[in-house]
Structure 1
Amino acid sequence: MRKILTILFSVIVSVSYSQDIIITKSDTVEGKITQLTPEKIYLLIKKQNKPVKTHIHRSAILDFHFAVIEELMAEYDSLQTYVLVTPEGNETRGKIEAINKTSVEFRTEYLGVVVVEAYNIQQIYRQDSYVPRSGKSWFPNPNSTRYLFGPSAYNLEKGEGYYQNTYVFLNMVNVGVTDYFSVGGGFEFISTFTGNPIAFITPKLGFPVTEKFSLGGGILAGVLTGEASAGIIYSIATYGSKEHNITAGLGYGYIDRELSSRPVLTFSGMTRAGQRVSFVTENWIVPINGSYYPVISYGMRLFGPKMSFDIAFFNSSDIFEEIFIGIPYVDFVIKF
């Protein structure tokens, strides 16, 4: 539990500089650095909500940080294509060769490798990043292929993968075999000490039909070693983007070789509320004793470029009578 809380804390408070920072012998100054010279650093600062040009002599400066460099160092991928935007609004696409404290080496298609000073970078973001209405790019949703337990129709890309830990004891790994097929497996930790470990396997297909509509299907299978197997064979449809979407699903449960005669229905959704937070819901309608029994969930996902943490609650009419807020659900995911 301590490890989970540590991860949650790191996701929430991970450093995200919104302005350049200059640390002097007597103060810390925030603003937009516009030029570096051997003697001075020039910058724009706000006074009474108005931009004011100023400068600080190097002899008075202990250290300085460019916001764009700090953010990029935390999450850049040398294999990805980026869009570099200058203060004049010009855009250049390419790959990042190297980053240092004051500049970026940027490999472009036509100019080769160019060195761009940090103060000449207004913004730099991955080509596949999500850009909300505010105009500033956000890193892509690192966990768009699943809600809580259940999947969306989006698939991991070839070579992508993630490790998921639920309630500390459940461990899963999923890997994209192709852009349209992934496979996962895992185990429940405590049962490994009983002599009958519980294992899971989760093959899945997912492919886009249109820009905003995807279809998928697969198996969520659990095996009690040497005893029995159970799971669900499902199909799903997802509408929206990887940042804001809804999914409807239908599946048939089975125990050993006996398939249920009535389907399980699922309705799920997520919406990105900020750069590092989404709201998630996953809802099941399960056939029990000739009727359908709904189980709903509601929660929040906190995340960084390669990690996410879910805190949610599952509820139903029976659970509500005992625990009105619902049964807590906690997991974290590390993407690789």
Structure 2
Amino acid sequence: MFYKAKLALTFLVCLTSVVAHAQQRNANVLIVHPAVGETINKQEKITYGLFPYYSADKFQEARFLRFLAADSARSTITLQTTFRNGKERSQPFTEREFEDVRNQIERNKMLADSLGQTYFVELIAGSSFTGVLVAQRETELEFTITDLGRITIQKANIRQLVPLTPAQAQRGWEPVGNGTRMFFAPTARNLRKGEGYVQNIDIIFFGANYGITDNFSLGVLFPLVPGLGGVLAITPKVSAPVSEKFSVGAGVLYGRAFGFGGSSGAGIGYGVATYGGADHNATLGLGYVFVDGENESTPVVVVGGATRVSRRFSILNETYITNEGFFGLVGGRIAATRLSGSLGFLYGSYIGGIYPAYVEVAYRFGKTK
């Protein structure tokens, strides 16, 4: 009996060894990011804020393994972690979770490489400040602020970090909108959820727009001139970011006149693409005019953009190109966090000069950052 038990135990050990070796042969080490290589050590865990469910004091190292099935058609990702007491733990990871770790390392690497960089920091609670990044730890960042000295902010409490150029840092910086329009023409950047504004154009027009979601906004526009009838226009817009700097969108400007014995409707449906951020962007759009359900066969092309040249001043342009020529607006906007004013000059191939034609005052409400 003893001999048989010993034989069985020997067989089990051999079988386990064979299985383990087979698994090792079918396992490939994955490099989640070049900054950490094949093995993530304790300091890298702290620097890049990785695996918060493992204490840094107990952590020694970790690596990602991809296990291949026998037919090599399927695979799984596992995080293999070794602790300082010698124990090991294996944790399954999805492809999305693995990619999230890579993105987190990239974001924190940029921060680690940016010590001494000035940032505009917006907190989830709604407050904001401008400060110089002086230290980064596993779960917090430390900034130096003029007149306040050093402050420590938990990473989980930060909504956004905006790096500032030396010129921006010197003259001051504040958010002045999401770059959703030029003068009158829209861009493909949308109002964020909870962000909105009301505006008065040329004294006689009143408008309002509001971000219902980060990808859909709705606006209205109507004249303030009393009369027998009335005009009401609606401006729904949908948009989606393709990348951090490129967005596409589509929308409609539809207006309807009431009174005078009846009503009629007209508008323009458009598609638009925008490259750039809130402060500096360029836009190309294509639209078709329709009147009472009948479409014009020739499209209208709009080309324009905006660039922020100082803390409060931006230069804007929008040009409309038709089969009969072109016309547009060029000018500037002075903006603070809530209040802004714009002045545009009309020009064109068949206008014969340049004239002040667009005066606007706008007030932002709700979310301002």
How does the TM-score come out when normalised to structure 1? 0.62
One-letter amino acid of the counterpart of residue 131, structure 2 = V
Matched-pair identity in %? 34
In structure 1, stretches of 5+ residues that fail to align are 1-71, 95-101, 113-124
Once the two structures are superposed, the pairs formed by residues 193-272 of structure 1 within 5 Å of their partners are 193-225=226-258, 226-272=262-308
Equivalent residue in structure 2 for 1:334, among 363, 366, 369: 363
- What SS does structure 2 have at the residue aligned with 1:153? coil
Equivalent residue in structure 1 for 2:341, among 309, 319, 323: 309
Equivalent residue in structure 1 for 2:188, among 153, 162, 179: 153
| Deviations 1:194-216 (CA, angstroms, capped at 9, x unpaired) | 12111110000111101111000
One-letter amino acid of the counterpart of residue 237, structure 1 = A
In structure 2, stretches of 5+ residues that fail to align are 1-119
One-letter amino acid of the counterpart of residue 174, structure 1 = N
Determine if contact 1:270/1:280 at 8 Å carries over to the other structure.
Answer: yes
Task: After TM superposition, give the deviation of residue 297 of structure 1 in Å.
Answer: 1.9
Task: After TM superposition, give the deviation of residue 77 of structure 1 in Å.
Answer: 8.1
Cα distance in 2 for partners of 1:308, 1:129 equals 22
Equivalent residue in structure 1 for 2:134, among 83, 89, 100: 89
| Deviations 1:252-298 (CA, angstroms, capped at 9, x unpaired) | 00111111111110001101100100000000012xxxx33200221
Which residue number in structure 2 is paired with residue 11 of structure 1? Answer: none
CA change 1:93–1:162 in 2 (3 A) is farther
Task: After TM superposition, give the deviation of residue 84 of structure 1 in Å.
Answer: 6.1
Which residue number in structure 2 is paired with residue 297 of structure 1? Answer: 329
Task: After TM superposition, give the deviation of residue 126 of structure 1 in Å.
Answer: 8.1
Determine if contact 1:81/1:126 at 8 Å carries over to the other structure.
Answer: no
Cα distance in 1 for partners of 2:210, 2:141 equals 29
One-letter amino acid of the counterpart of residue 327, structure 2 = V
Cα distance in 1 for partners of 2:341, 2:159 equals 23
Task: After TM superposition, give the deviation of residue 132 of structure 1 in Å.
Answer: 2.8
Determine if contact 1:142/1:307 at 8 Å carries over to the other structure.
Answer: no
Equivalent residue in structure 2 for 1:169, among 179, 204, 226: 204
One-letter amino acid of the counterpart of residue 242, structure 2 = V
One-letter amino acid of the counterpart of residue 269, structure 2 = I
CA change 1:197–1:130 in 2 (3 A) is farther
One-letter amino acid of the counterpart of residue 229, structure 1 = G
CA change 1:111–1:80 in 2 (3 A) is closer
Task: After TM superposition, give the deviation of residue 243 of structure 1 in Å.
Answer: 1.1
CA change 1:130–1:318 in 2 (3 A) is farther
- What SS does structure 1 have at the residue aligned with 2:289? strand
Which residue number in structure 1 is paired with residue 164 of structure 2? Answer: 131
Determine if contact 1:301/1:309 at 8 Å carries over to the other structure.
Answer: yes
Task: After TM superposition, give the deviation of residue 171 of structure 1 in Å.
Answer: 0.6
Which residue number in structure 2 is paired with residue 119 of structure 1? Answer: none
One-letter amino acid of the counterpart of residue 309, structure 2 = A
- What SS does structure 2 have at the residue aligned with 1:134? helix
CA change 1:184–1:110 in 2 (3 A) is closer
Cα distance in 1 for partners of 2:344, 2:135 equals 43
CA change 1:130–1:170 in 2 (3 A) is farther
Which residue number in structure 2 is paired with residue 46 of structure 1? Answer: none
Cα distance in 2 for partners of 1:166, 1:181 equals 23
Which residue number in structure 1 is paired with residue 8 of structure 2? Answer: none
Cα distance in 1 for partners of 2:208, 2:239 equals 17
CA change 1:93–1:81 in 2 (3 A) is farther
Task: After TM superposition, give the deviation of residue 325 of structure 1 in Å.
Answer: 2.5
Cα distance in 2 for partners of 1:157, 1:330 equals 25
Task: After TM superposition, give the deviation of residue 131 of structure 1 in Å.
Answer: 1.7
One-letter amino acid of the counterpart of residue 195, structure 1 = L
Which residue number in structure 1 is paired with residue 321 of structure 2? Answer: 285
Mapped pair 1:181 → 2:226:
no
The structure whose residues are more often strand, as a share, is: 1
How does the TM-score come out when normalised to structure 2? 0.57
Cα distance in 2 for partners of 1:278, 1:237 equals 20
Larger Rg computed on CA atoms: 2
Determine if contact 1:83/1:127 at 8 Å carries over to the other structure.
Answer: no
Cα distance in 1 for partners of 2:293, 2:338 equals 39
Which residue number in structure 2 is paired with residue 28 of structure 1? Answer: none
Determine if contact 2:333/2:341 at 8 Å carries over to the other structure.
Answer: yes
| Deviations 1:86-107 (CA, angstroms, capped at 9, x unpaired) | 6x9347659xxxxxxx869x89
CA change 1:207–1:327 in 2 (3 A) is same
Task: After TM superposition, give the deviation of residue 128 of structure 1 in Å.
Answer: 4.6
Task: After TM superposition, give the deviation of residue 187 of structure 1 in Å.
Answer: 1.1
Counting matched residue pairs gives 234
